[in-house]
Amino acid sequence: MKEPCWPIGPLLATALLLASLWGVPATAAEPPAETTFVRAEGLARAGKGAAAQAAFREVLRLDPAHPRAPERLRELYGQGLTAAQAIAALEADVQANPADPIPRNLLGVLYGRERRWDEALAAFRAALAAEPRAADAQANVGWVYLEVQRSTDALHAFEAALRLQPKLARAHAGYGAAVAEARGDFEAALASYRQALLLYPGNAAYLNDLGWLAYKMGRVEEAVRALRQAAAARPENPLILTNLGLAYLKAGENARATEVFSVAHRVDPRYPLALYGLAKAATERGEHAAAAEAYWQAWRQSGHDIYAILWATAALRVHWLAAALTLLLGLGGLGGAVAFLLRARRPAPPVTSSSP
């Protein structure tokens, strides 16, 4: 008897259908939070700020530990508002929605920007009480602890944030800062910042911190490379520019360092570290009068005694002979010599809008 012949096509189609029903698709479906995040990014690029904010909030409701949505929401929130207006709006939001962790976390960030550390911590803790999976709020607790110099507590907070979300770049960066402060473990700190940059390539803040750590460790080439990238991303930031200048100085590139310090000083004429950099570069060139002038301006603008001491040192190098003669002749003793130096090297006050 002849065996029945079954058509191959229908059988194959049936098998594929059964496989799909049993959860063996050719490609896995994208999680709803990621789909919503892509939509939110599209709205942000289209300039639809309010709709983008609502979409990023929806991402966080779907995935409270999402690694990018909190940062994107912070970047968009409060555009067109003053800090006081944004805080007032969020305080009203918290009152209206006490169980929602998202406005509490945002409010803590704004409190932190105002250096209201106790209120910031309270807001982040309230966000975590409402949503224990809120990895960003846990990382924010760590950043506040860093600001108030509780580095060990910061370390524990960042470890907790990374347990919630191993892909949270700012938690890796925070861990790097905390492990350097709490344990002096610069190698572990560098590794953490490198991990943060793998997760968030090109982030100027992480590049700056990595460059500064490398500078402190004497890894000059790595420091210059990272800080150049940071300065390219944030050319208006005097801190990054000054750090780059210091790295150039350590690399023996005085001319480049002086150029970068000068740019930092033009960006913010009252930023004392840029003046410090200019003075340090001038000292290395043997231009002690120029160094004394820059140190004097830094002291006038910041009131930090260290700049006064550095100024006095530079001034003495210029006028050491006159100071020695004054002392030898007994013309007023040490007080007279100091007064002489003050009269001889005090530059004109810097011309700025806040000068007295």
| Prediction pTM value | 0.78
Find all residues with CB under 8 Å of 235, minimum gap 6, and list them. Answer: 241, 263
Distance from C-alpha of 205 to C-alpha of 280, rounded to nearest angstrom = 24
Across all residues in the chain, what is the average pLDDT?
84
Distance from C-alpha of 161 to C-alpha of 138, rounded to nearest angstrom = 5
Distance from C-alpha of 86 to C-alpha of 70, rounded to nearest angstrom = 16
What does the CA dihedral 29, 32, 35, 36 come to, rounded to 10 degrees? 170
Distance from C-alpha of 323 to C-alpha of 210, rounded to nearest angstrom = 44
What does the CA dihedral 61, 66, 70, 71 come to, rounded to 10 degrees? -160
Distance from C-alpha of 301 to C-alpha of 294, rounded to nearest angstrom = 11
Instruction: Read off the pLDDT of residues 158-197 as tens digits, 9 standing for 90 and up.
Output: 999 999 999 999 999 999 999 999 999 999 999 999 999 9
Instruction: Read off the pLDDT of residues 119-136 as tens digits, 9 standing for 90 and up.
Output: 999 999 999 999 999 999
Provide the H-helix boundaries in the chain: 8-21, 32-45, 49-62, 69-76, 83-96, 101-113, 117-130, 135-147, 151-164, 169-183, 186-199, 204-216, 220-233, 238-250, 254-267, 272-284, 288-302, 305-328, 333-345
Task: Determine the topology of domain 44-201 in CATH.
Answer: 1.25.40
Distance from C-alpha of 175 to C-alpha of 162, rounded to nearest angstrom = 9
Find all residues with CB under 8 Å of 95, minimum gap 6, and list them. Answer: none
Task: State the CB neighbour count (10 A cutoff) for residue 344.
Answer: 13
Q: Which two tokens stand for residue 87?
A: 């805080």
The confidence score (pLDDT) of residue 320 equals: 56
Q: With a cut of 50, which residues of the chain have pLDDT below it?
A: 1-27, 321-356
Provide the H-helix boundaries in 234-303: 238-250, 254-267, 272-284, 288-302
The confidence score (pLDDT) of residue 78 equals: 82
